[in-house]
């Protein structure tokens, strides 16, 4: 009876330790999401905005080049003056878009530097988890190796059904 009571207590203790490991893992996953995954997803979402600004800049550059080519192709001085206003407008739009792209790229560089910090946070979260998991596993191992019933097995009589019936 004592043997089964010890086994039952050990089983409960073991289940609590396994549950503790599960809780540590849950905490690690939650912290990893907060400190790394979410900021990474936010940065990736901003990447689409950068690409849109670049496409707009490229389109404005093509418009500027087309306006300049029309000025070069102009036959008269009056026609050139009229087309130069289009060039000036196209140049102004291009310069404004260029500044927007430059600012967005500078923000991206800063965000990339921040991502390194988030990566460091992720590493710290993982180190904490593995440290806690190692401590729990070592505690479980020592408890199993130092259990009071080590090497003792209950004596059970096996019922041999074939020999009893004959």
Q: Kindly report, residue by residue over 55-64, the tens digit of the pLDDT.
A: 999 999 999 9
CA angle (24, 25, 27) in 5-degree steps: 65
Residue bearing the bigger pLDDT, 7 or 13: 13
Average pLDDT (90-103) is 94
pLDDT > 70 in the chain, percent: 81
Assign 165 a pLDDT band (cuts: 50, 70, 90): very low
CA angle (160, 164, 166) in 5-degree steps: 125
Assign 95 a pLDDT band (cuts: 50, 70, 90): very high
Model-wide pTM > 0.75: no
Average pLDDT (60-71) is 92
pLDDT tens readout for residues 13-35: 777 777 777 887 888 888 888 88
**Residue found by looking up tokens 């670049």 in the block:** 54
């Amino acid at each position: 009876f004592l043997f089964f009571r010890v086994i039952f207590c050990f089983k409960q203790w073991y289940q609590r330790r396994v549950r503790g490991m599960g809780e540590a893992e849950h905490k690690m996953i939650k912290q990893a999401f907060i400190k790394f995954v979410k900021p990474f997803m936010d940065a990736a979402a901003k990447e689409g905005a950068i690409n849109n600004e670049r496409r707009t800049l490229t389109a404005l550059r093509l418009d500027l080049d087309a306006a300049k080519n029309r000025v070069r192709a102009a036959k008269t001085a009056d026609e050139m003056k009229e087309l130069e206003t289009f060039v000036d407008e196209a140049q102004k739009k291009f310069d404004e878009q260029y500044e927007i792209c430059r600012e967005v790229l500078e923000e991206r560089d800063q965000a990339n530097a921040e991502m390194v910090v988030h990566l460091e946070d992720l590493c710290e979260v993982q180190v904490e988890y593995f440290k806690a998991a190692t401590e729990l596993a070592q505690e479980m191992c020592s408890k199993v190796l130092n259990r009071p019933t080590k090497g003792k097995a209950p004596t059970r009589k096996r019922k041999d059904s074939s020999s009893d019936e004959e």
